[in-house]
Amino acid sequence: MTTTTARNVGVDIQESEQNRAVVEAIEETNPACIVQHMPGLVRITCPKRLVITRDSVEQKLGREWETHEFQMAIVSYFGHIKDWDDDEIVIAWDH
């Protein structure tokens, strides 16, 4: 495991054709994140904070995407969902 002091947050996403765009968008928005492939799912971890933006996903997908759709992709997460509005989803620890 990592020995860094910054606590990680993370999200597990179902591996699928459509979610590949979501994963790519997350990678671009969060340069410090680490992407691991596990059976059937993709695990993304990031120190402190992970952001998923509508803009970046729409660009990768080439179509409109509402943040509610993230519910179709997410399998599990750790951290706290700090914000989930029309434009972005933020996962971070509170304290």
* Binding interface with another protein (CB under 8 A): 1, 7-10, 12, 14, 38-41, 66-69, 71-86, 93-95
CA 39 to CA 53: how far, in whole Å?
26
Query: How many Cα atoms sit within 13 Å of 23 on the Cβ side?
Result: 21
Residue 80 CB, nearest approach to another protein (Å): 6
CA dist 32 and 50 (Å) reads 9
Looking at the Cβ atoms of 19 and 56, the one nearer to another protein is 19
In the bound complex, what is the minimum distance in angstroms from residue 12's beta carbon to another protein? 7
9: phi then psi, degrees, rounded to nearest 5: -120, 170
Closer of 53 and 79 to another protein (Cβ):
79
Cβ distance to another protein smaller for residue 1 or 63: 1
